Amino acid sequence: MKKITYFVFILTCLLFRNVNLYAQNDVLQKLEKIAIVEQKMMMPMRDGLRLATDIYRPKTKEKVPIIFSRTPYNFNSWGDGKQINRTATRAYEAVKRGYAYVVQNERGRYFSEGEWDILGVPLTDGYDAFTWMKTQSWSNGKIGLLGCSSTAEWQMAVAALDHPSLATMIPQGYGAGVGRVGKYLEQGNWYRGGVEQMLFFSWLYSVEHDKFKPRIPAGATQEDLIRISRFYDLAPKNPKVDMAKAMEHLPIQDILININGKREIFDKMIRRTPSHEDWYKGGLYHDNMEINIPSFWFTSWYDVSISPNLALFNHVRNNAKNKEIKDNQYLIIAPTMHCAYTRSTENTIVGERSVGDARFNHDEQIYAWFDMWLKGEKNNFKEITPRVQYYTMGSNKWQGSQSWPPENTKMITYYLKSNGNANSLNGDGKLSKRKQNKDRPDTFTYDPMNPVKSYGGNVCCTGGAVKGGAYDQQEMEKRDDILVYTTDILNEGIEISGFIESTLYVSSDVKDTDFTIKLIDVYPDGRAYNLDETIQRVRYRDGYDKQMFMKKGEVYKISLTPMSTSNFFKKGHRVRIEISSSNFPRFARNLNTGGKNYDEKIGIVAHNKIHHSSKYKSHIRLPIVIK
């Protein structure tokens, strides 16, 4: 019987494999009918190194515009089936619309020569690629950028170099390319509020090639590379690890060592403070750089960096010197996880919460935008498309506005109140428009060896260590080291759309600690769905270029980086915030010693307080849409 079962299993695997291959071959065959395919073109950079590039262009004698996608990820057409299908499908969609589709690996990745660093540095590689493409006999000299995540994050800094052929870009899920913008200093998602976001610990383990990787000999011909790529994919196969367990290791500088990971880039980054000069030497975009091209920005509510993403859109709109550039910035905010724009269904589930039918005409809008800026076509995109398209959860609908936040938004202040017992869901914490007079601080114990575990949230790339999206927080809220503040039951529904600002007055018996906040929608039956979250390391309360340690018992004001959402709190619901000192492994634990933290094994317990009174006005400011 076991032999028969095994035989059936093997046949089933072969059947699915063949079905997958047929689907891939179908896409490739359709593509080859309409496209001239040039694979493993080795595009030269100014220092002589060559980057592996695949080109798919229409079979026409007319010059065509280019959609360019540069990536650290594998796009080898002879690699795994999923990647074949993805690359071929994207190329087919572009070519059938009259575009050349060019995809390239960053230096040091797969068949590209050189050494890799995050965001495809040096920036000149992007500029040199534009120059090479514009001079090709089949090019009309106009280039547009398209990609999500690491395939988008390099775009902004290169766009700021102002190449004459770069006509537009469509960055999607681009937060790890944002260094500093306005109130946000995340340095490409490495930090938030001066605290390491641990997603890069996992991401680097999964993607970084070893310095001893196999290398193609310099000067290999295109013919050789095409032939070799059929046999050697050069894709690393890292052993699977329990990343949630791996992230518990201390000191955090040794996490990748402990799982036999490749750590050259990690070792450099883990030692950088938030304002370290090296953040400004790589491929990150900072707000002293000017973007001078029309841009169509794609973001999502449960992405890891939704607030900096929105801040960057506003920064370009408000600060571009050219009025035409200001007027040609457009934004989409979907209710999904990182890069999941096309995965919306009639019943879109994000985590475990249904947000309704969140589908939208993704490809139609992208190509209408490209048609305007790369082909010069006069279409009705701008007439029918709101400046900002955002999805409001709760009411579960797409909405439009001419700005972010929407024009009819008013900031309303809610103060923290309690009798000193806001600990847990069963405490007496309140959110109220009226502040209390006497200070009755809420005290909780933060033990770094027993941190509040991350449950849901605005994440990506954690290797399964954190579940992303909206999850019912009730079980988490039973902990005494979580302070819970909730409004009264709403007599009528309210829409909160915009940036949520938080100010806390805190004290502690340790030199340094962290404070976290979550924003939550509480249903009548008690379900409590998280919307966004943030954190602040107290030593950086007065700026990331200096470290100011706490004195026991002294009260300090901290302003956390703003959160963002669009959520309709229905009649009968309540608005809630949670406050604690950890959200792990979403964020690295503060060991409370005042030391470097990244090289420490032993933490100390902190007794932390939140003060709220007429003197210590701890509060949040909610952007409420006035109808």
pLDDT band at 211 (very low <50, low <70, confident <90, very high): confident
Place of tokens 């090296």: 278
Segments in 248-288 forming alpha helices (H): 255-258, 264-269
Q: Give the distance, in angstroms, between the CA of residue 463 and the centroid of all CA atoms in the same chain.
A: 14
Distance (Å, whole) CA 295 – CA 584? 35
The whole-number pLDDT of residue 82 equals 52
- Which overall architecture, per CATH, does domain 30-188+284-344+356-392 show? 3-Layer(aba) Sandwich (3.40)
**pLDDT tens figures, 36-54:** 999 999 999 999 999 999 9
Q: Apex CA 278: angle with CA 276 and CA 284, to 5°? A: 105
Segments in 239-340 forming alpha helices (H): 243-246, 255-258, 264-269, 306-319, 323-326
- Token pair, residue 620, equals 């949040």
pLDDT band at 208 (very low <50, low <70, confident <90, very high): confident
How many residues are there in the chain? Answer: 627
The whole-number pLDDT of residue 17 equals 41
Distance (Å, whole) CA 249 – CA 170? 38
Q: Do the domains spanning 30-188+284-344+356-392 and 409-625 agree at the CATH topology level?
A: no
Q: Which helix (H) or strand (E) holds 585?
A: none
The whole-number pLDDT of residue 380 equals 96
The whole-number pLDDT of residue 233 equals 81
The whole-number pLDDT of residue 77 equals 66
Cβ neighbors of 439 (< 8 A, separation 6 or more) are 611, 612, 613, 615, 616
| Mean per-residue pLDDT, 165-177 | 97
For 15, the 3-state DSSP assignment is: helix
- The full set of domain ranges for the chain reads 30-188+284-344+356-392, 409-625
| Mean per-residue pLDDT, 572-596 | 98
- Token pair, residue 2, equals 């076991």
Q: Which helix (H) or strand (E) holds 127?
A: helix 124-134
The whole-number pLDDT of residue 18 equals 41
Q: Apex CA 154: angle with CA 321 and CA 50, to 5°? A: 120
* pLDDT more than 70, % of the chain: 95
Residue 475 has pLDDT above 90, yes or no: yes
| Mean per-residue pLDDT, 457-484 | 96
Cβ neighbors of 497 (< 8 A, separation 6 or more) are 390, 392, 405, 406, 409, 565, 566, 567, 623, 625
Which residues are paired to 564 by β-bridges?
A: 499
For 550, the 3-state DSSP assignment is: coil
Distance (Å, whole) CA 191 – CA 187? 6
Q: Which helix (H) or strand (E) holds 110?
A: none
Cβ pair 105, 75 in contact under 8 A: yes
Distance (Å, whole) CA 335 – CA 493? 19
**What number of helices (H) and strands (E) belong to the chain?**
13, 28
* DSSP character at residue 165: T
For 274, the 3-state DSSP assignment is: coil
Residue 604's identity, in one-letter code, is: I
Alpha-carbon distance values, 550 to 61, 503, 517, 557, 605 (Å):
70, 17, 20, 11, 15
pLDDT band at 10 (very low <50, low <70, confident <90, very high): very low
The whole-number pLDDT of residue 8 equals 43
The whole-number pLDDT of residue 16 equals 40
Alpha-carbon distance values, 257 to 117, 196, 201, 216, 424 (Å):
19, 18, 11, 27, 37
Alpha-carbon distance values, 370 to 65, 66, 310, 327, 397 (Å):
9, 10, 22, 16, 26
**pLDDT tens figures, 494-546:** 999 999 999 999 999 999 999 999 999 999 999 999 999 999 999 999 999 99
* 409-625: CATH number: 2.60.120.260
| Mean per-residue pLDDT, 369-385 | 97
**pLDDT tens figures, 119-160:** 889 999 999 999 999 999 999 999 999 999 999 999 999 999
Q: Give the distance, in angstroms, between the CA of residue 44 and the centroid of all CA atoms in the same chain.
A: 31
Q: Apex CA 623: angle with CA 420 and CA 409, to 5°? A: 155
| Mean per-residue pLDDT, 345-372 | 97
Residue 2 has pLDDT above 70, yes or no: no
Burial class (CB in 10 A: 0-12, 13-18, 19+), 400: exposed
What would the 3-class secondary structure string for 389-440 be? EEEEECCCEEEEECCCCCCCEEEEEEEEECCCCCECCCCCCEEECCCCCCCC
The whole-number pLDDT of residue 11 equals 43
Residue 405 has pLDDT above 60, yes or no: yes
- Token pair, residue 366, equals 């992208």
* pLDDT more than 90, % of the chain: 86
Query: What average pLDDT does the chain have?
Result: 93
